[in-house]
């Protein structure tokens, strides 16, 4: 590279950097992640009717029966954890490596947005829920989010 002027060297280095570390525009994949989160939430609600929502709203079917055998409080926390885990996996799996890296580097912001969107949905759908039930759900979600954000993911070729 000794025969090139500084402008040409910078352009070559910039092209190499772009090939190795491509720019990630979060606006191209974040709306898709929100849609995946909503679909995962609908799926989870069908088998774990949190706050009386879902296909099995009586609570006699699905995971609610299993979780309620321990206690009502455990059921609220376990449903929050199950929803967060299911949604997180559904969001993570279809991402490209560069998108996973971007999401991992912004994990706390994204986790906060995901928790806020879900909490807002619950408050709109079931405004008469008790603060204790909702708090236990948040605790279950935070346990999963905290555990997931402590793990440095390994990336496979996608």
Q: Report pLDDT digits (tens) over 99-155.
A: 888 888 888 888 888 888 888 777 776 667 777 878 888 888 888 888 877 776 665
Please indicate, yes or no, if residue 2 is contained in any of the structural domains: no
Please indicate, yes or no, if residue 20 is contained in any of the structural domains: no
Band (57; pLDDT cuts 50, 70, 90): low
CB 77 within 8 A of CB 86: no
CB 64 within 8 A of CB 75: yes
Please indicate, yes or no, if residue 1 is contained in any of the structural domains: no
CA count, 13 A, side-chain hemisphere, 46: 7
CA separation (Å) from 15 to 9, 21, 80? 10, 10, 45
The parent domain of residue 144 ranges over 28-150
Contact partners, residue 157, CB within 8 Å, separation at least 6: 97
pLDDT of residue 55: 60
Please indicate, yes or no, if residue 18 is contained in any of the structural domains: no
H or E segment and range at residue 12: helix 6-20
Please indicate, yes or no, if residue 89 is contained in any of the structural domains: yes
The total number of structural domains that make up the chain: 1
Please indicate, yes or no, if residue 155 is contained in any of the structural domains: no
Sign of the torsion formed by the C-alpha atoms of 113, 39, 155 and 139:
positive
What does pTM read for this prediction? 0.70
pLDDT of residue 54: 60
Please indicate, yes or no, if residue 16 is contained in any of the structural domains: no
Please indicate, yes or no, if residue 87 is contained in any of the structural domains: yes
């Amino acid at each position: 590279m000794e025969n090139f002027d500084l402008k040409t060297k910078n352009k070559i280095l910039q092209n190499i950097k772009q090939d190795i570390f491509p720019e990630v525009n979060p606006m191209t994949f974040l709306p898709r992640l929100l849609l995946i989160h909503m679909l995962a939430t609908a799926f989870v609600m069908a088998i774990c009717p949190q706050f009386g929502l879902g296909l099995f709203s009586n609570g006699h079917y699905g995971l609610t029966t299993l979780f309620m055998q321990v206690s009502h409080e455990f059921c609220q926390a376990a449903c929050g954890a199950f929803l967060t885990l299911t949604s997180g996996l559904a969001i993570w799996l279809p991402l490209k490596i560069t998108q996973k890296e971007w999401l991992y580097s912004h994990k706390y912001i994204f986790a906060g947005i995901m928790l806020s969107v879900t909490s807002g949905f619950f408050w709109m759908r079931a405004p008469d829920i008790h603060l204790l039930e909702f708090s236990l759900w948040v605790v279950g979600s935070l346990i999963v989010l905290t555990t997931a954000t402590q793990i440095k993911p390994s990336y496979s070729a996608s």
